[in-house]
Amino acid sequence: MKRSHKITILGLIILCFAHLSCSSQIKPKSNTVDDKVAALLKQMTLEEKVGQMAQITLDVITKGKDRFTSDEPVVLDPAAMDAAFNKYKVGSVLNTANNRARTPEVWYNLISQIQKSGKGRLNIPVLYGIDAIHGATYTAGATFFPQQIGQAATRNRDLVKRAAEITAYETRASGIPWDFSPVLDLGKDPRFPRIWETYGEDPYLGSELGVQAVKGYEGDNNNVGDPFHVASCMKHFLGYQVATSGKDRTPAMISDQALREYHLPAFKAAIDAGAHSIMINSGLINGIPVHANPKILTELLRNELGFKGLVVTDWGDIENLYKRDHVAKDNKEAVMMAINAGIDMSMIAYQYEPFCDDLIALVKEGKVKESRIDDAVTHILKLKFELGLFDTSVTNYKDYPKFGSEEFEQAAYQTAAESITLLKNKNNVLPLKKGMSVLVTGPNANSMRTLDGGWSYSWQGDLVEEFASKYHTILAAVQNKIGKEKVTYVPGVSYNMKGKYYEEYADQMNEAIAAAKNVDAIVLCLGENSYTETPGNLSDLYLSDLQTELAKKLAATGKPVILVLNEGRPRIISKFEPAMAGILECYLPGNFGGDALADILFGEVNPSGKLPYNYPKYPNSLINYDHKPSESRDVVEGVYNYNADYDPQYEFGYGLSYTTFKFSNLKLSANKITANDTLNVSVEVSNTGKMEGKEVVELYLSDLVASISPDVKRLKGFEKIDLQPGQTKTVNFKITKAEMSFVNADLKKVVEPGDFKIQIGNLTQKFTVE
């Protein structure tokens, strides 16, 4: 018995050790982000959770006469911070104070104080977000690139990625880890005041460049905890910028088929590329505000696309559900609708108390499930962990020696140079000879504000001159290039810089006309003053009467006029375009746009930009390049003979060079394939001119017969190549199921049997899908 007893004790000891060993293997201590989030969530009260879902603008917590303004210099208000962070547990802050840029040092000091005050009992850091649109928008000294529309014109994926990388670096140098960019809206309507914030009118182009932007912001592996990268925020999901009226934040009518065929691809591509957050469309689709539409926010975005990141509203858009759109009777119902639809964080901006109070009450009343709150807060906390904010809540500007460096500025210059698009060059008037005397004139000739556009040091870009004085306007750049003694400047027309963007006045117009008689050539700089969002709405797409008058009178002098267009959208120029000898489209090229333009004007750089949209000829003919066959018909036979006029001023993809290129030997790997096959396409491109040049090789695909009337052609591939005179390169493309498919009437992506046509340059080839 004693032996038996000893064996039993020994056995028990062995069993205990075995159990402990197994337990440690079965339940290891986990340090994954998901486990950290889950553990933290369990400790949080309902009030703390709701606070995490609230985002306020910086002016709310600064000293000033009210929540909408701040004293200068900016000083944080301890009482306001205590109310926001300790009483209401607010988890996120955005924007700058007084709508103006700050130095990296000021940003560091402000956000350091916010993080010190805002962590609460659980030490949860504040998530700071900013609109860094074409550079670190609200940081003095930051590197400004061309706006997205200009980046699209480069057709250069590497430049787009590099712009986002540098913007991420300089945003982190400002202590900010979250960037509300890129804009992935489809810029199909030239009337819209934000088309310049897009990559243009084509879904494929927007998808390709959007992915590059996400990679640039977040890094190739989406490691946003890297102190040189930020979390990107795709916007504005979904169907923004195609409002029926052409005006910002007004209703759109979009079929489900069109929504999926044209507007969804860029967002899907960015989601697949790992983008961490997404901002919602401020408008309405088919009468329903997108912020209150669970079919878009939950069924499509979450369930179908599999998006697992943070969903944030745009500015004040939950309040808009009752104040503007009248789909909710009060704030409480608006909050209920938006949160239940799938919103994680409300960009409240100012009045955060009603949001928090109403959401807490809604949960207690059972009208919003706490599981929905937990879901939202999980997305928020996960992003904070992934950004590394629990370890380093604010990055220090002293650790970013490349901020505003020559290396970064050269990247911005190169992007501007490759964006500028040569639209007309009658009798090879360009490039100009450096020995020529020139008149530089027009309202955009001597303005940094117009070169940068909106989202530049301030929301509307109205403070650019204060911050960008060291850079070169078009006038200054031309003077630097050929000498001041060869340049005459008379404005002719000027903008009212303290008024609305479209306010302008004649400014020595007669003197400008007189001066034209004494020079060899005229550089006429026309376009728009800076704007964005609703303040940029317009009622007439024609370029203004005064600018049109100036152009006509200058052309009447008989001197060659080089029209330089510096504009956010394609303002119609057909009233005087025939009288222009040369036309260069600059878009909004940023702080180095003047230098890049001067180099192109005088032949040091060969232009290589391509239009990212159709440039319309008339305001009642706003037709996209990928239109339906019925929109470009020939004359119909019989008594009802008519034609459908498709006549843009310049078509999507158009852009000239100072050299010439020849396309030849377009080859397909097969004439017949199945839907699951890959078709290899090759073409030879030769520089047949006398100057080195870059050419964009674009592949267009036409589905000749389909169950839904097919677009006449669609961009399905592009590559930018550099060729020396006499050099030839072979460019290869692959056509797969993804390129051949379309969304049918049942909202399914399908490839239907039939004939297809490939077009590259002036070459075409057909193939059949069996």
Which residues belong to the active site?
Answer: 314
Contact (CB, 8 A) for 60 and 67: yes
Alpha helices for 44-192 (secondary structure H)? 46-52, 78-81, 104-118, 148-154, 157-172
Contact (CB, 8 A) for 192 and 183: no
Contact (CB, 8 A) for 530 and 462: yes
Verify cis geometry, omega within 30 degrees of 0, for the bond prior to 182: yes
Q: Tokens standing for 116?
A: 């010190």
564, β-bridge pairs: 525, 584
Contact (CB, 8 A) for 227 and 394: no
Rg (CA), the chain: 29
Q: Tokens standing for 277?
A: 């957050």
How far apart are the C-alpha atoms of 39 and 88, rounded to whole Å? Answer: 22
CA-wise closest residue to 509 among 571, 572, 453, 441: 441
Q: Tokens standing for 258?
A: 């069109």
Contact (CB, 8 A) for 400 and 104: yes
Q: Which amino acid is at 524?
A: L
Contact (CB, 8 A) for 740 and 751: yes
Verify cis geometry, omega within 30 degrees of 0, for the bond prior to 443: no
How far apart are the C-alpha atoms of 198 and 200, rounded to whole Å? Answer: 5
How far apart are the C-alpha atoms of 413 and 402, rounded to whole Å? Answer: 16
Q: Which residues contact 132 (CB under 8 A, 6 or more apart)?
A: 138, 167, 170, 171, 176, 179, 180, 181, 230
- Strands 582-585 and 421-425, bridge-based pairing: antiparallel
CA-wise closest residue to 79 among 93, 61, 95: 61
Question: H or E element: which one contains 732?
Answer: strand 728-735
How far apart are the C-alpha atoms of 128 and 138, rounded to whole Å? Answer: 13
How far apart are the C-alpha atoms of 626 and 188, rounded to whole Å? Answer: 10
Contact (CB, 8 A) for 679 and 735: yes
How far apart are the C-alpha atoms of 107 and 575, rounded to whole Å? Answer: 48
Q: Which amino acid is at 546?
A: L
CA-wise closest residue to 549 among 575, 571, 514: 575
Ramachandran area for residue 228 (φ above 0: left; ψ -120 to 50: alpha; else beta): alpha
Secondary structure (DSSP) of 612-623: SS-B-SSTT---
Q: Which residues contact 739 (CB under 8 A, 6 or more apart)?
A: 701, 716, 717
Q: Tokens standing for 248?
A: 């910002």
